[in-house]
Every structure is written in C-alpha cells, then in structure tokens.
Amino acid sequence: MQHLSINLRVHEKLYLKDPLSSELGKKIVQHGVALIESLGFEEFTFKKLGVDIQSNESSIYRYFESKHQLLLYLINWYWSWMEYQLVFSTSGIADAQEKLGIAVSLLTQKWPDGTLVACMNAAQLQRVIITEAPKAMHTKSIDQENEDGLFGVYKRVIQRVSDMVTALNPNYAYPHMLITTVVEGAHQMRFFADHLPTITDQVADEAHLVESFYRDLIQKAILDE
C-alpha cells in the first residue's frame, strides 16, 4: 500500500483535539471512515466506533464533540487534500486549457484503492464523501458553519478552478456554477453508477467515463459558445 505523508491543515473548529496529533486520534479517524462507509452515517455512532477501536466512547468525545463534527472534519480534510493536489499539479503551467484539463481530471477522478494519505485510506474517504457529505451540508446549521469558515477550503477549490475557466474565457458568465456542477455532479454520477446505473451512461472506457463527460460539458460551455 502506497503511503503519502502530508501535513494538511483542517479548520480548528472541527475538532476539540487534533486527531492527527496522537495514535488514538489517528485510529479514531481511520476507523471512523471505515465504519461510516460500512454502516452509513445514520447508523454510525461513537459507541460503535469505541467498540471497533477498543477504546472508551468518552475518549472519542475528547477529539470530536459529535459525529456531525467528525463528518465535517472528514469533508474539510478531503477538500484540503484536493486543494493540495490542484496547486501541486498545476503549478508552473502557463497554458490555460491544459491547466483546466488537469483540474477537471482531479475533480472527477476515482481515487485508487491502496493509497494512504496521512492515516486516511484515500479511496475509502472519497466513497464516504460521495455518499455522506450532502448530509452534513444540507442542514439548518450550514449558514452558521459557513460563517464560521468551516467550508472555506471547499469554496477555495471552487474559486481556484473557476479562475481557470475565466482565464480561458473571460466572457463566460457562469464559472462558479459550472465548476460547482462539475464537482457535485461528478460525485453524484459516481454514486449513481454504483447504485442506480440505469440513469447513467456506460462506455468502453468506464474508468474515465465521468471525466470524459465533464470535459465535454466544459468544452461546449466555454469554448464552443
């Protein structure tokens, strides 16, 4: 298994104690991802996580005040990792179209199994984000959480790629809507492909289906208008 050691910043309001600062905290996050994927967020509890990691439930509450906060932490970590990849992969590239193409590939990719980033199973985390992230965002508390800056990194990713759209076509009027559609749509298509496949399309190159669709969409939206 490939292991990447990267120090990503997560908003300090998303934990009581930094889980990556201790072995127990890392175990809470790593096993939390696996258990959320296995059980679903509704059935996931800190009591079940405590049993899974052979630790007291109370020890988990020293790191996260609720399972909602844990899910927001995972979302923030995911988009921090995505932002890191965007910046690293597009740094020094002058061609606007090439830069946007790399960004779209990153936003729509299916993360391969077998890669650990910090203590996270990257593919497993992506599956959790695809399935469970809307449950953390479509809540009554989102306005306050947004005001507190908890979605800052997600919005920065959207802004970075929207800026690439504008660099390619300054006259295009909807860069943010387009990239948000790409991000959220790519996740939905991954979910539907696994659970409602008849409402998606199938092609020979299944691994790059989502990427191909959104590349085509962007091409028609900003270059063929």
pLDDT of 136 reads: 92
Find the Cα–Cα–Cα–Cα dihedral 212, 36, 22, 65, rounded to 10°: 120
User: What ranges do the domains of the chain cover?
Assistant: 2-223
Find the angle CA(27)-CA(33)-CA(35) to the nearest 5 degrees: 95
**Token pair for 222:** 């900003």
Check if the beta carbon of residue 35 is closer than 8 Å to that of residue 45.
no
Q: Tell me the pLDDT tens digit for each residue of 115-159.
A: 777 778 889 999 999 999 999 999 999 999 999 999 999 999 999
Kindly list the distances between the CA atom of residue 22 and the CA atoms of 60, 73, 120, 209, in Å, as whole numbers in the listed order: 12, 16, 14, 40
Check if the beta carbon of residue 10 is closer than 8 Å to that of residue 73.
yes
pLDDT of 207 reads: 58
| pTM (global) more than 0.75 | yes
Average pLDDT score over the chain: 91
pLDDT of 4 reads: 45
Say which range, 1-5, 21-25, 72-76, has the weakest mean pLDDT.
Answer: 1-5
- The CATH H-level superfamily of 2-223 is Tetracycline Repressor, domain 2 (1.10.357.10)
